[in-house]
């Protein structure tokens, strides 16, 4: 019998699978999940709207691309700070600040008179999103008993997989009927309601252990992750000459700053000035799970950019058709994730991650076979298999790697995994686009037609996705279950 003392009341909690969470905790988690869902959905709605915005604002592709780049850069800079933020401020203050920033940013975007104001709104949105994702993960790890973590973290996986899949469909429908501003106007009232409910219903559960903010670490963190994300994200644009700097410049700055940042954190280790605690990497299960997550996220983000290009440039579908065809794969992950979460609570990660990893690799191998004459049914089926595999691996990996840490390191571990997933997504996108572009331009197939050349480039890019996921599948045999100990959580 484990007793949890919380502001929700004293609850006797047994380490059984049928344990029920306190009603007020369910309300808090529901609000956080809802907030995270609309924030992640917001990440992908812009991709479909960019051509329309180029016409409305009369700007080039290089300028309008900053709507995506600015959002990613803000996420890259803010997420590493969340380990400090979550230990410094109360849960209510953190939640309200996160949703408040997102709401204000959405309002700015909805009524933006020019592109510069719209980009500013995306920056404010990105800051709110960057805080919410680690807050949600840390909340689950801190308050949810170990035997229920899998199924609750499964809901987190739904957000990661389903929201990006719905985003382009949602944006396509809105653009075809109402106009791009409505992509924000429809989200805005939902964000306002979540903000109001959170201000009244969220209570503080954290054992705060605030340290002092090390300015040098903040600067190095921003230069490291901002430089890497920007440099990697701009590789695809650089092929068409649409970048301010050659990608190698920000990437080089990012690599040097990252090395200095890590050295600085190791120097501050054990003091209250450490910005991002490196001790989670001493836990083998955390390191293995995090590397696997990075490989899968690189493959996932690469496929998210390549599949729409394949469907539109090779199979000549429009944006709405593309979104609808990709929707079943994302929904498959959403349907599978809760089931996988319950299975994880019962059997641990290995029976799920090992076969799931090979399912993902098989799906990437299937995408390698896509060509100009591939039937649409085969494309959808391959994407559904990918969604099935990701649904099998994402929840167990995230739960087992973070669950292996001591409670004091939850916030730092969550910040690390979220930061590295963003970095891996940018790297995966850069790798896939670079291989596609190089093959298309230099493969000697241009004379056979642009469709064939595009198909050949995409074909070779998916080969790299298959290699990445096959490496992750091999690593799955080294994953272990978190130590089955239950800590008493005292909530103030």
CA 458/CA 219 separation, integer angstroms: 38
What is the pLDDT tens value at each position of the chain, 492 positions in all?
A: 333 433 333 333 333 444 577 777 888 888 999 999 999 888 777 766 777 787 888 877 667 777 877 887 888 888 888 888 888 888 889 999 999 999 999 999 999 999 889 999 999 999 999 999 888 888 888 888 877 777 778 777 777 767 777 777 787 788 778 888 998 999 999 999 999 999 988 877 666 666 677 889 889 988 998 888 888 777 756 555 556 678 888 889 999 999 999 999 898 887 777 888 888 998 989 999 999 999 998 888 888 778 877 887 788 887 778 778 888 887 888 788 888 888 888 888 899 999 999 999 999 999 988 888 889 999 999 999 998 998 899 888 888 888 888 888 888 888 888 888 888 887 887 788 778 877 776 654 444 446 777 777 888 888 888 999 999 999 999 988 776 444 333 333
Q: Supply the pTM of this predicted model.
A: 0.78
Q: Which residue in the block uniquely carries the two structure tokens 């909690």?
A: 13
Q: Which residue in the block uniquely carries the two structure tokens 């709405």?
A: 320
Which tokens sit at 391?
């649904």
Nearest CA among 418, 148, 489, 378 for reference residue 276: 418
At CA 337, angle to CA 90 and CA 163, rounded to 5? 65
φ and ψ at 13, to 5 degrees? -120, 120
Which tokens sit at 249?
């410049």
Strands of 15-78 (E only): list them: none
């Amino acid at each position: 019998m484990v007793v949890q003392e919380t502001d929700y009341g004293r609850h006797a909690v047994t380490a059984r699978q049928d344990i029920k969470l306190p009603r007020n905790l369910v309300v808090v988690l529901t609000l956080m999940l809802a907030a995270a869902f609309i924030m992640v959905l917001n990440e992908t709605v812009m991709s479909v709207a960019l051509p329309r915005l180029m016409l409305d604002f009369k700007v080039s592709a290089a300028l309008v691309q900053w709507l995506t780049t600015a959002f990613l850069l803000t996420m890259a800079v803010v997420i590493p700070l969340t380990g400090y933020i979550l230990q410094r401020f109360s849960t209510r203050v953190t939640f309200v600040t996160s949703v408040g920033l997102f709401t204000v940013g959405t309002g700015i975007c909805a009524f933006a008179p020019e592109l510069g104001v719209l980009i500013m709104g995306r920056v404010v949105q990105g800051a709110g999103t960057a805080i919410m994702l680690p807050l949600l993960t840390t909340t689950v790890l801190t308050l949810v008993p170990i035997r229920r973590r899998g199924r609750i973290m499964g809901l987190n996986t739904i957000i990661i997989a389903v929201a990006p899949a719905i985003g382009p469909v949602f944006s396509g429908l809105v653009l075809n009927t109402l106009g791009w501003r409505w992509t924000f106007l429809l989200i805005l009232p939902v964000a306002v309601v979540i903000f109001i409910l959170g201000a009244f219903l969220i209570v503080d559960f954290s054992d705060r252990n605030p340290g002092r903010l090390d300015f040098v670490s903040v600067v190095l963190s921003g230069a490291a992750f901002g430089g890497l994300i920007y440099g990697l994200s701009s590789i695809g644009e650089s092929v068409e000459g649409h970048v301010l700097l050659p990608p190698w410049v920000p990437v080089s700055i990012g690599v040097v700053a990252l090395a200095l940042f890590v050295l600085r954190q190791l120097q501050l280790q054990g003091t209250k000035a450490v910005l991002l605690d490196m001790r989670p990497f001493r836990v083998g299960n955390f390191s293995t799970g995090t590397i696997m997550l990075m490989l899968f996220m690189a493959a996932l983000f690469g496929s998210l950019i390549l599949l729409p290009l394949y469907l539109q440039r090779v199979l000549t579908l429009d944006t709405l058709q593309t979104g609808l065809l990709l929707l079943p794969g994302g929904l498959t992950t959403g349907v599978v994730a809760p089931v996988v979460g319950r299975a994880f609570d019962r059997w641990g990660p290995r029976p799920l991650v090992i076969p799931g990893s090979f399912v993902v690799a098989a799906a990437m191998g299937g995408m390698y076979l896509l060509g100009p004459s591939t039937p649409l049914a085969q494309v959808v089926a391959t994407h559904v298999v990918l969604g099935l595999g990701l649904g099998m691996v994402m929840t167990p990996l995230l739960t087992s790697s973070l669950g292996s840490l001591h409670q004091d390191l939850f916030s730092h571990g969550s910040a690390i995994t979220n930061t590295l997933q963003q970095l891996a997504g940018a790297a995966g996108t850069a790798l896939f686009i670079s291989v596609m572009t190089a093959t298309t331009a230099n493969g000697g197939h241009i004379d056979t037609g642009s469709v064939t050349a595009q198909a050949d480039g995409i074909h070779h890019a998916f080969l790299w996705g298959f290699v990445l996921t096959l490496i992750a599948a091999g690593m799955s045999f080294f994953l272990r279950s978190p130590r089955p100990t239950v800590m008493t959580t005292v909530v103030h």
